A and B are shown apart, each in its own frame.
Chain A
Amino acid sequence: MSTLIEVDHLSRYFGKVCAVNDISFTLERGQVLGFLGINGAGKTTTLQMLSGNLAPSNGNIKIKDFTIINNPIQAKQCIGYLPDTPPLYKDLTVTEFLIYCAKIHGVSKHEIKKTLENVLQRCALISVKNRLISNLSKGYQQRIGIAQALIHNPDIIILDEPTVGLDPLQIKEIRQLIKKLSEDHGIIISTHNLSEAEEVCSQVQIIHKGCLIVKERITELMQSIKQCSLLITTKKPIDCVVLNAIDGVNAIEKISDYQVKINYLDSLDPTQSIIQCSLLNNWALIEVTPIKKSLEEIFISYIDKEQS
């Protein structure tokens, strides 16, 4: 694995407001790095600095062997960037727009046709390639946005909330595309959706009020946010006394006759026992859902941890 991005003590101030506060991280080839954070956390500002759209107040960004301040042209050649709003010239057709993007990214004339076909195919845009961008749906426009970030085959792809505003099918397609791209690129995506990070990212960083509060592998994060709680839904009324007798069950919170929330001891997962108990008592079990923390709750728990 080779290091593609090295961010060193990066900060950004807007007046007296600190949008990004002293963050450092690296990105390797083959890695999908997720930037998690609520709105206004500093995700977009960080990505804008990485893509050369915004100058950092302090710190250094090294893209492969080039620093973005001293060698912006060489550094930007290695980056494909999709901002939160796809930058599209809506008066152009998809092909015209992508050819223009290829040209400004320095793709040589004889390679343009090949790269264009490749990117149209990857982003499933062949059927609309001759249509005006303004006439296409938001899903297609988002894909054109991704296509323009890929057109020059950059080593690093930066996607700012790539699935916002898309329907579930389109979200699935885009996530599949990101996974496919991660095979030979380094990818940074920002999102405020925990399940999206779980699905596509190999590494996550949680940013809150401009500070990087968590930096770990997605599997480790998912483990740490397990809350030792289950939500049980049945068709027939549940007897809480029976449930309370099961080993490991710590507390029961009755939501309705047909739904309860169970807290259990971390050392003793009672899920199997609860399912068996439900069968024995004929509660007609519909759903057993492990409850995960929301992003907000993760922030609070990490901040509490830091403070203590």
Chain B
Amino acid sequence: MILTIAAQEFKSHFISPLAWILMAVLQIILGYLFLTQVETFTLMQDKLLNITGAPGLTDVIITPLFSNAGVIFLLVTPLLTMRVICDERRNKTLCLLFSAPVTNSDIILGKYLGTLGLMWVIVILVGLMPFTLLLGGDIDTGKFFANGMALILLVAAFASTGILMSTLAEHPTVAAISTFGILIVLWLLNINQTMSDKPNELIQGLSLLYHYQNIQTGLIDSRDIIYFLLYICTFIVLSIYCLANQRLQK
């Protein structure tokens, strides 16, 4: 049942122009940023040759590309997730799912996976860009896949926040703004800690950016993976709870 709802949600994004425009715009922006990084590398290439242990092609082009993609997803996710449950409630189509023999978990997970499907399609499109580098050089595949995994986990975390806000909010724009607010706070939580000699472990541990960058380095630490999995589970469980609560309307 989850897959049926997910497939419908995934398709619904492509029925409206939203998914197509989003993919086109993101490809243009990230394509431009990718080419900028390629140009930077070409300019720095001679200098880098003379330095021992200098950053390679992957460090100069791929890691910044995925970092930029992370920021862009931060801006785009609220727009993608704001309507998921909120619009169903406003259009009174949610009762179709409520009266069907499906559980609240089926509804939330279906909607979540459907939206995540679209976001992962965009991640794959971003991931395909670095493959063009193979035409003229070698890339560090380990680091490349680490970056890919980091972005996959990051968008999954973003989407879970978006789903919760969409379940809670009465209006899609409220859902979008609150999702954006939560994500930006969790993203920037770490910003003043990087400068200090003794960073606060709790603040660092809560920061999305900190864990994202950790995986991007190519060192896969189970703590970072667990952080993302726990983050996703928390928001999904809260969404299921909020949806169940709607039947109790006090």
Contacts and interface: CB of A to CB of B under 8 A. Distances in A.
B250 interface: yes
B99 A91 contact: no
B210 to A, nearest CB: 40
A106 B101 contact: yes
A148 interface: yes
B126 to A, nearest CB: 27
A85 B91 CA distance: 9
Interface stretch (B4-12, B19-27, B59-67, B225-233): B4-12
B98 interface: yes
B12 A87 contact: no
B250 A15 contact: yes
A89 B12 contact: yes
Contacts of B4: 100, 103-104
The B interface, classified by DSSP as helix, strand, loop or mixed, is: loop
A116 B102 CA distance: 20
Interface in A49-106: 51-55, 72-74, 76-77, 79, 81, 83, 85, 87-89, 91-92, 100-101, 103-106
Nearest to B100: A104
B247 interface: yes
Contacts of B247: 52-55
Contacts of A100: 4, 8
B98 A52 contact: yes
B135 interface: no
B249 A14 contact: yes
A15 B250 CA distance: 5
A91 B95 contact: no
B5 A87 contact: no
Nearest to A76: B101
Contacts of A148: 96
A89 B1 CA distance: 18
Nearest to A103: B4
Nearest to A106: B101
Contacts of B93: 87-89
Nearest to B16: A91
B12 A105 contact: no
Interface residues of A, number: 29
A91 B248 contact: no
A54 B97 CA distance: 13
Contacts of A55: 247-248
B47 interface: no
A91 B1 contact: no
A285 B31 CA distance: 86
Contacts of B217: none
Nearest to A51: B99
Contact of A87 (B96, B101, B102): B96
Contacts of A88: 93
B250 A14 contact: yes
A83 B99 CA distance: 10
Interface string B74-105: 00000000000000000111111111111100
Interface in A1-53: 14-15, 48, 51-53
B15 interface: yes
Given A88-B93, A148-B96, A105 B249 contact: no
A87 B101 CA distance: 16
A95 B26 CA distance: 33
B12 A91 contact: yes
Given A76-B100, A77-B101, A83 B12 contact: no
Contact of B95 (A83, A92, A103): A83
A63 to B, nearest CB: 11
Given A14-B250, A54-B249, A104-B5, A81 B99 contact: yes
A148 B96 CA distance: 9
Given A87-B93, A100-B4, A53 B98 contact: yes
Interface of A: 14-15, 48, 51-55, 72-74, 76-77, 79, 81, 83, 85, 87-89, 91-92, 100-101, 103-106, 148
Interface of B: 1, 4-5, 8, 12, 15-16, 91-103, 247-250
12 contacts: A51-B95, A52-B98, A72-B103, A73-B102, A76-B99, A87-B92, A87-B94, A91-B12, A101-B100, A104-B100, A104-B102, A106-B1
